Structure 1
Amino acid sequence: MIAWLGKMAWRDSRSHRRKLLLFTSSISIGIGALVGLSSLSSTLQEAMDQQAAALLGADMALTSRQPFTPATEALIDSLGGVQARQVAFNSMIYLPKTQSTRLAQIRALTGPFPFYGELKTAPAEAAQSFRTQPHALVDEALMLQFGAAVGDSIKIGDTVFLIGGRLLRIPGENALFSDIQPRVYIPMSYLDDTHLIQRGSRVTYTAFFRFAERDVQAIAKSIRPHTRGDRLRLETIESRKARLGRTLNNLYRFLNLGSFIALLLGGVGVASAIHTYTRQKLSTVAVLRSLGATARQTVLIYLIQAGGMGLVGSLIGALLGVGVLYLLPNVLADVLPLQVEPSFDFLAVLEGLGLGIGLSLLFAARPLLAIRKTSPLLTLRASFEDDQPADSGLLRWVLYVGIVLIIALFAYRLTDRWPLALGFVGGVGVAFALLTLTARSIIYGTRRFFPASWSYIWRQGLANLYRPNNQTTLLMLGLGLGTFLLSTLFLTQTNLLSHIKSVGSDQNPNVVLFDIQTDQRQELSDLIAGMDLPLLQQVPIVTMHVHSVKGQPARAILRDTTANRGRRGNWALRHEYRATYRDFLTETEEIVAGTWRSQPADDTLYVSLETGVASSLGVGVGDSLTFDVQGVPIDVVVGSLRQVNWQRIMPNFLAVFPPGILEAAPQSHVLVSRTATTEQMAALQRSTVHRFPNVSVIDLGSILSTVDTILDKVSLVVRFMAFFSVSVGLIVLVGVIASSRYQRIEESVLLKTLGASRRQVVAIMALEYLFLGAFAAATGVILSLGGVWALNRYLFEISFAPDYLPLILAFAAVSLLTVAVGMISSRGVHTSPPLEVLRSLG
């Protein structure tokens, strides 16, 4: 019986194999993406295992935000092994050749770090030669930005270094670091000569270790209690590997779910194709029933064809997956801290084949349910009865539930988390429902308010969207989803950039100078005034740590492993606070609880905390805190909580004291100003670096450039996923055109018989595709406006000010692409001679 069913499925497909192959290609892209991503996941895991040591560059690292205490130094000495030290901080660098300045991260290094992997430099020997002479390794991105070359001079603080080499790659760090903050390595022996580390400087001190044949995890476990109390961060190869693994898993989940959406869209395309195909096969089904075939056998014949479609489509997808595997490392190069050599995973191929066949059968089963009710009498009624029989309602809903369960199970397979899987299923359902609702609303509105005054060609092109079996809603769903992703991406990027620009508009500050020592404050203020620039704020900064919370020492809280504070709570206890004192609120702050106090009370010292850090510390108005102000404990009471707008280019603080408490404490200062032109900004930066090498300058222009670059690189991943959705939509379009080709030929012949010219027929066809693409693009654009509004309001908390140029470009691109694909797929339709069609009609 099975052999007979297979033969019948093969024979019945003879005249439609090319069309069936076209239908099945709609799932090939989704399968290709999933197979490629699964193989990439295996490749990344293998690369992470092989390069695990190079991710950290050492067996273990101890990091502190303050100089190591004598107790910590004794602990480090007792650990033994081969050691290296690094001191990292931010500072302005100056390139005399081009008179350029830039904020960079300076890393002073001593010892043979990295112990694993290598600093990749050009020339290669510079990675070692710079350690013993006044040479610097400068980030390649910074050198390209300012046209610097090896052998040029670079001034860091009070010391001039020779650029010994370009810094191409650092083990365990990705290329985005260069965009956010270029790195410059100098020898530790020349650090003091720069005079950059002063009171108030934010410095990170790290000790690296390599242990020969010792249990690193046991060593880490034995010293962990000391690290909690001394605010040390302990990292091992395993902990760095686990942290990177979490990041890569999140990226992998995102890409996989995006590919799965494209696959589901392709599955919907298969269902649509089978629906149209079975309508054309009703007479064949009736003949089979007349010859004695049961309803079950007829359904199985076409299920076998659907399974064959899934198999062929999945095989094509597996081949595409090879291309995806070799393409993705290039797409993700800037966000991956690993060097990846792609290797194909055959288990991923088998999984892709099973998923492709399974989804093809699932989505094909729904339209095939109807042919179970096909009567043998249809062979006699076919001349006057063309309606497809109704399917069983109960069985249909059972099938729907099965589809949802299968999707949920596979989503769990991709995410390994039920909340994410169920959220994905719900999100996809809502997204598809919104896209469908929007598409049908546009179609209904067009039909309801049909433009009767248009010329015949335009009216006919628009009316063709309602042709039977045209699947207009499905096409708008596929093309609209891709447009939605692209439009949302571009709108989000332009909104963020425009918001940052608006922050520096009018009289808002756009430049901040920090790490200013007390004896430099007046001289720097005079410099700003001498350049006719406004001095908008002068802010003192005092560094401190939390000593105790509600009478309980912070070290004891950190050592208590039974408390469930989470990472944020631990961070708030370990954080080096940069607090200030003043008697006023700034325009970026708002009191949400308690009372703002502009002067100290007689018997109680009050502090105002930012709402987020108060929540992390678990304190509210009236609770007690003790701050360690550089060795001096200060007992305070939380007097108020502030909501802070961190998006403004203004000095904002987690803790603000009233005047009269911190004036005698060691402190640094921040000055805030505004420049009207880039020339003024450059002049201020050059003058500051020359006269005050330890002072750093941040300007809005560099922030804009950095954000733009990062968004461009990250958005490449999203554009890659949008490509799949648009591609599936276009393939479904080609399939629908192929399935309705005969109807289009009949329509073309009829128009010619009635006197239409070939040019008019082609114009009607082109307008049909133009309207289809325009409606699909409108669907995506409308939803993207709503999506970006929600993102701005609830995630970024910025105003919604859309830039309509990306929307116009996306609208035009999708519309024209649809016309191009449609016309190419329809070539030959308008050239069919009328007599040929008339003869076929008898």
Structure 2
Amino acid sequence: MSMTADTAPRGGTLSLAVRFALRELRSGLRGFYVFIACIALGVMAIAGVGSVAGSLSAGLDHQGRTLLGGDASFALIQREASKEERAFLDAHGKISATAIMRGMARSPSGEFALVDLKAVDGNYPMLGTVSLEPKMPVPDLLAQRDGAFGAGADAVLLARLGLKAGDRVTVGNATFEVRATVQAEPDKLAGGVGLGPRFLISEDALRATGLLQPGTLVRWIYRLQLPDASGDERATQSVVNAAQKALPEAGWEVRTRGNASPQLERNITRFTQFLTLVGLAALLVGGVGVANAIKSHLDERRDVIATFKALGATGREVFTIYLVQVMVLAILGSLIGLAIGAALPFIIVGLFGKILPLPVEATFHAGELALSFVYGLLTALAFGLWPLGRIHDVPVAALFREGVAHEFHWPRRRYLVLMASVIALLIAVAIGLAYDKRVAAVFVASSVGVFAVLRGVASMLMALARSLPRARFTMLRLAIANIHRPGALTPSVVMSLGLGLAVLVTITQIDGNLRRQFMAALPEHAPSFYFIDIPAAEAPRFSAFLKQAAPAANVETVPMLRGRIVAAKGIRAEDLKPSTDSAWVLQSDRGLTYTGEVPRGSTVVDGTWWSADYSGPPLVSLEKKIADGIGVKVGDDITVNVLGRDITAKISNLRTVDWQSLGINFVLVYSPKTFAGAPHTDIATLTEAGSSNAASDAKLIKDVAAAFPMVTSVRVREALDSIGKVVTNLVLAIRGASSVTLISAILVLGGALAAGHRHRVYDAVILKTLGATRARLLGAYALEYLLIGLATAVFGVAAGSIAAWQIVTRLMTLGFVWQAGSAALVVLAALAVTVGLGLAGTLLALNQKPATVLRNL
């Protein structure tokens, strides 16, 4: 049975190792369940996220034409298409025009509600269908009859105003009969999400409301359906290029069916990356379980390994045998994870397909599945090579002594190099395939740092326990000795639990701060109301009205226009290379204003502010983070298209902005005379000195709507509640994904404790033989687990709190308040899990018969 190179051909070494490895696995997978589960969970998370994201992207690609409402869309802000622009579009195909703006709907009882008006023409929808209840053709829904225009309303609006089908409401100067509830719109995703419920009306009805004033904040979308381009993207792009060439200053935002909802696609990509990182975190946590499981397995197989070596097997051959076993089990775990992850899109479509507002097309995505499979194998190798490499040079005598003595030694250099190569490959894959490589690099560096710190925490804890004076209390003395003795569980428990707790604390701290920001108290001095679309000529009268209605409140009114950045430093916007967190400013139109004074909440940090009576060439002030992100500085030129005209201004200064105050502020602020004579509206805020109540707020909304029907009132609390609901759903999704990491941590912790079970049995038997009682041993082990769990929990709270602080303040640019309550709950949960799992294993050890154990010593 000799396995030496003399008796086995060199080419047959691997096949012989495979035979022995598979033969050992015939006895079952006992001891490897945690190994398989950890790999399967991580691979499942990555494969599931990739498959769902791929299915959603496929749905967006295949249904992009329907989502867009045509082959291409041309959007304008604050103005309709000119005759020349409309003639160009009409010449290239069928056109459907849509106008989207906000308004105030008034019920017969005098109640008001903010609505998102969507006015459509007779060609809407060119693609797809509008789902109405009761069902009816769109022309019948919107037709004018008996002195009222028809309308479709969101069910939320009907509930808010206490309406039903057939009731009438007033918007501006027009009366509407609500004839159906709008359940779905084919182009809703492309249009974005509004603050109010949908109110679907005709274009003629919108004009009858009187809300279309010069400078009104309205978005006109012209959808183009080409005659013969249902499957030809090149024909669509040709029309887009021709439009940009023929009408270079139109200033419209152009989309094609290939990017029907770019913001949604970007969000999907970013969220996919985040969830992929969560999956990687689960794999990294599981990697500790892999190492523990392999070490435990090698401990249990010491007699077999000794026999192999006694019969002439080399260390390399023994290493190969158990490496093959590890890879077989890693493949098994990865395949289980792949199967569940690949099935996830089909499960989602099967269970939620009819109510899901997103176009998910359940398909298999071989690339994503292959990537997750590679992640699983690389993780198993990265964490398994260390314990595998250590068996190469261990002599047979030491293996037989392993039951009572642990001799630490480093693996050979070849195994260290191999392990380093695998880790480098894993890092390269994680960063190289990431959407945002900077975020991925930070994640990798943080993971390496966390593992190093965790090992340091374990070493410090053991050193502290070793340096403590001998305790007089027996159970405490045993507990402290167990923490630092050779073969102690301390490193395994700290590594197993630490990263999972850090992730949990990070999520709970972010969750608490988002809820505080959007669903609890408003920031100090935050406005109570925003008022939009105030005609410029009516602005003084409107301010006087608010002063009279709320004498103690502070009213601020500023002019507002909308424009789209088309160039900077002479470079077209589409050719700029902005940073990830500033790209949004180039992707659509932005609000802008002009003033002679530095806006409240802004601080000039570079350059100088213009004088209040400045009347020279256009100057602009830019928010500093955005300026840094798009690569401009003081003295550079920036061009913005406003109302169909390109306005080029020199950057005079850069500002920092306190966005959390919720006051009026803009990324772009221009010098006073830049937009003299341009049609625009004003925006106003009302900040009350004390706390408001729902009754007084409702009265103010009603008074403003009655005196100024064209003005839209937005109650800040309601807007934040709407955002808070979105944030809550997002946090729930993050929490659900992160639970995979926590499950892995618990599995790994259980595996670590199971790996030390054999040594616990020896300890328990010897101590019981020397007179220790069951209660005293349980108390000692409980104290040991309690102390280790407490130290790990302290680290988890500290690391998670720091990570959450960085994410909330730097990425989300929000205020951070440490959530002591959630941190305390995490500590209690960690202690309960650690002590509970530890004592469960201890009870099994205490039930072992002494005679069997003592005979093997």
Question: Which TM-score tier does this pair reach, normalised by the shorter chain?
Answer: 0.7 to 0.9
1:210 to 225, 228, 232: 225
Cα distance, 1:370 vs structure 2: 1.9
Q: Does the residue aligned with 1:371 lie in a helix, a strand or coil? A: coil
1:74 to 61, 79, 87: 87
The corresponding residue for 2:426 is 407
**Residues 202-252 of structure 1: per-residue CA shift (max 9 Å, x gap):** 111111122231432322232232354210122111233777655534333
Taking a change above 3 Å as real, the CA distance of residues 196 and 615 of structure 1, as seen in their structure-2 partners, is farther
The corresponding residue for 2:117 is 106
Question: Matches of 1:347 and 1:628 in 2, distance apart?
Answer: 42
Which amino acid in 1 is paired with 2:391? I
Question: Matches of 1:547 and 1:258 in 2, distance apart?
Answer: 35
> Contact between 1:180 and 1:706, CA under 8 Å: does it hold in 2?
yes
Is it true that 1:263 corresponds to 2:283 in the alignment?
Answer: yes
> Contact between 1:511 and 1:699, CA under 8 Å: does it hold in 2?
yes
> Contact between 1:285 and 1:374, CA under 8 Å: does it hold in 2?
no
The 5 A counterparts of 1:748-787 are 748-753=764-769, 757-787=773-803
Cα distance, 1:122 vs structure 2: 3.3
Cα distance, 1:782 vs structure 2: 0.6
1:677 to 692, 697, 700: 692
Is it true that 1:119 corresponds to 2:130 in the alignment?
Answer: yes
Question: Matches of 1:175 and 1:476 in 2, distance apart?
Answer: 48
Is it true that 1:31 corresponds to 2:47 in the alignment?
Answer: no
Q: Does the residue aligned with 1:300 lie in a helix, a strand or coil? A: helix
**Residues 459-503 of structure 1: per-residue CA shift (max 9 Å, x gap):** 645654446545433433343323222322332243345456899
1:709 to 725, 731, 734: 725
> Contact between 2:579 and 2:630, CA under 8 Å: does it hold in 1?
no
> Contact between 2:808 and 2:814, CA under 8 Å: does it hold in 1?
yes
User: TM-score, normalising length from structure 2?
Assistant: 0.84
> Contact between 1:275 and 1:367, CA under 8 Å: does it hold in 2?
yes
2:491 to 453, 461, 473: 473
Cα distance, 1:836 vs structure 2: 4.9
The corresponding residue for 1:64 is 76
Cα distance, 1:67 vs structure 2: 1.7
> Contact between 2:120 and 2:202, CA under 8 Å: does it hold in 1?
yes
User: TM-score, normalising length from structure 1?
Assistant: 0.85
Which amino acid in 1 is paired with 2:97? R
Taking a change above 3 Å as real, the CA distance of residues 151 and 741 of structure 1, as seen in their structure-2 partners, is farther
Taking a change above 3 Å as real, the CA distance of residues 164 and 767 of structure 1, as seen in their structure-2 partners, is farther
> Contact between 1:174 and 1:335, CA under 8 Å: does it hold in 2?
no
The 5 A counterparts of 1:707-746 are 707-746=723-762
Question: Matches of 1:632 and 1:346 in 2, distance apart?
Answer: 48
Q: Does the residue aligned with 2:395 lie in a helix, a strand or coil? A: coil
1:198 to 201, 213, 217: 213
Cα distance, 1:145 vs structure 2: 5.8
2:509 to 488, 491, 499: 491
Which amino acid in 2 is paired with 1:815? L
Q: Does the residue aligned with 1:68 lie in a helix, a strand or coil? A: coil
Cα distance, 1:190 vs structure 2: 0.7
Cα distance, 1:442 vs structure 2: 5.3
The corresponding residue for 2:659 is 646
Is it true that 1:430 corresponds to 2:449 in the alignment?
Answer: yes
Cα distance, 1:325 vs structure 2: 4.3
The 5 A counterparts of 1:164-179 are 164-171=179-186, 173=188
Cα distance, 1:85 vs structure 2: 0.9
Question: Matches of 1:450 and 1:336 in 2, distance apart?
Answer: 63
Of residues 167-176 and 432-441 in structure 1, the stretch that sits farther from structure 2 once superposed is 167-176
The 5 A counterparts of 1:479-558 are 479-499=497-517, 504=522, 507-518=525-536, 520-521=538-539, 523-541=541-559, 543=561
Q: Does the residue aligned with 2:103 lie in a helix, a strand or coil? A: strand
The corresponding residue for 1:394 is 413
1:156 to 171, 174, 180: 171
Cα distance, 1:318 vs structure 2: 3.2
Taking a change above 3 Å as real, the CA distance of residues 635 and 711 of structure 1, as seen in their structure-2 partners, is closer
Q: Does the residue aligned with 1:208 lie in a helix, a strand or coil? A: strand
Question: Matches of 1:325 and 1:617 in 2, distance apart?
Answer: 37
Cα distance, 1:355 vs structure 2: 5.0
Taking a change above 3 Å as real, the CA distance of residues 36 and 228 of structure 1, as seen in their structure-2 partners, is same
The corresponding residue for 2:595 is 581
Cα distance, 1:71 vs structure 2: 1.7
The corresponding residue for 1:182 is 197
Question: Matches of 2:637 and 2:378 in 1, distance apart?
Answer: 62
> Contact between 1:461 and 1:765, CA under 8 Å: does it hold in 2?
yes
Question: Matches of 2:408 and 2:111 in 1, distance apart?
Answer: 77
> Contact between 1:621 and 1:640, CA under 8 Å: does it hold in 2?
yes
Is it true that 1:291 corresponds to 2:303 in the alignment?
Answer: no
Cα distance, 1:29 vs structure 2: 0.8
Cα distance, 1:266 vs structure 2: 1.9
The corresponding residue for 1:48 is 60
Question: Matches of 1:465 and 1:137 in 2, distance apart?
Answer: 69
Cα distance, 1:535 vs structure 2: 4.1
Taking a change above 3 Å as real, the CA distance of residues 389 and 459 of structure 1, as seen in their structure-2 partners, is closer
Cα distance, 1:400 vs structure 2: 2.9
Question: Matches of 1:561 and 1:349 in 2, distance apart?
Answer: 33
Of residues 422-431 and 104-113 in structure 1, the stretch that sits farther from structure 2 once superposed is 422-431
The corresponding residue for 2:96 is 84
**Residues 131-166 of structure 1: per-residue CA shift (max 9 Å, x gap):** 324233333455566665444444322334233333
Cα distance, 1:86 vs structure 2: 0.4
**Residues 85-126 of structure 1: per-residue CA shift (max 9 Å, x gap):** 1011122334456x6544332111113333233333433437
Which amino acid in 1 is paired with 2:219? T
Q: Does the residue aligned with 2:104 lie in a helix, a strand or coil? A: strand
Question: Matches of 1:333 and 1:703 in 2, distance apart?
Answer: 29
Taking a change above 3 Å as real, the CA distance of residues 56 and 299 of structure 1, as seen in their structure-2 partners, is same
The corresponding residue for 1:9 is 21
Q: Does the residue aligned with 1:373 lie in a helix, a strand or coil? A: coil
Aligned CA-pair RMSD: 4.3
The corresponding residue for 2:296 is 276
Which amino acid in 1 is paired with 2:271? L
Cα distance, 1:831 vs structure 2: 3.0
Cα distance, 1:597 vs structure 2: 4.5
Q: Does the residue aligned with 2:127 lie in a helix, a strand or coil? A: coil
Taking a change above 3 Å as real, the CA distance of residues 539 and 276 of structure 1, as seen in their structure-2 partners, is same
The 5 A counterparts of 1:587-666 are 587-600=600-613, 604=616, 607=619, 609-612=621-624, 640-653=653-666
Taking a change above 3 Å as real, the CA distance of residues 541 and 726 of structure 1, as seen in their structure-2 partners, is same
1:252 to 272, 279, 290: 272
Of residues 24-33 and 758-767 in structure 1, the stretch that sits farther from structure 2 once superposed is 758-767
Of residues 794-803 and 495-504 in structure 1, the stretch that sits farther from structure 2 once superposed is 495-504
Which amino acid in 2 is paired with 1:668? T
Which amino acid in 2 is paired with 1:250? R
Taking a change above 3 Å as real, the CA distance of residues 690 and 447 of structure 1, as seen in their structure-2 partners, is farther
Taking a change above 3 Å as real, the CA distance of residues 248 and 700 of structure 1, as seen in their structure-2 partners, is closer
Question: Matches of 1:525 and 1:813 in 2, distance apart?
Answer: 55
Question: Matches of 1:559 and 1:347 in 2, distance apart?
Answer: 35
Cα distance, 1:19 vs structure 2: 1.2
Cα distance, 1:446 vs structure 2: 5.8
> Contact between 2:566 and 2:639, CA under 8 Å: does it hold in 1?
yes
The corresponding residue for 2:150 is 135
Of residues 303-312 and 176-185 in structure 1, the stretch that sits farther from structure 2 once superposed is 176-185
> Contact between 2:290 and 2:380, CA under 8 Å: does it hold in 1?
yes
The corresponding residue for 1:339 is 359
Question: Matches of 2:840 and 2:681 in 1, distance apart?
Answer: 69
Of residues 629-638 and 459-468 in structure 1, the stretch that sits farther from structure 2 once superposed is 629-638
User: What is the percentage of aligned positions where both structures have the same residue?
Assistant: 24
Taking a change above 3 Å as real, the CA distance of residues 13 and 610 of structure 1, as seen in their structure-2 partners, is closer
> Contact between 2:543 and 2:555, CA under 8 Å: does it hold in 1?
no
Of residues 709-718 and 150-159 in structure 1, the stretch that sits farther from structure 2 once superposed is 150-159
Question: Matches of 1:631 and 1:245 in 2, distance apart?
Answer: 28
Of residues 831-840 and 442-451 in structure 1, the stretch that sits farther from structure 2 once superposed is 442-451
Aligned residues: 830
Q: Does the residue aligned with 2:661 lie in a helix, a strand or coil? A: coil
**Residues 638-657 of structure 1: per-residue CA shift (max 9 Å, x gap):** 65544332332222245656
Q: Which residues of structure 2 form unaligned runs of 5+?
A: 1-11, 230-234
Cα distance, 1:302 vs structure 2: 1.6
Taking a change above 3 Å as real, the CA distance of residues 658 and 406 of structure 1, as seen in their structure-2 partners, is closer
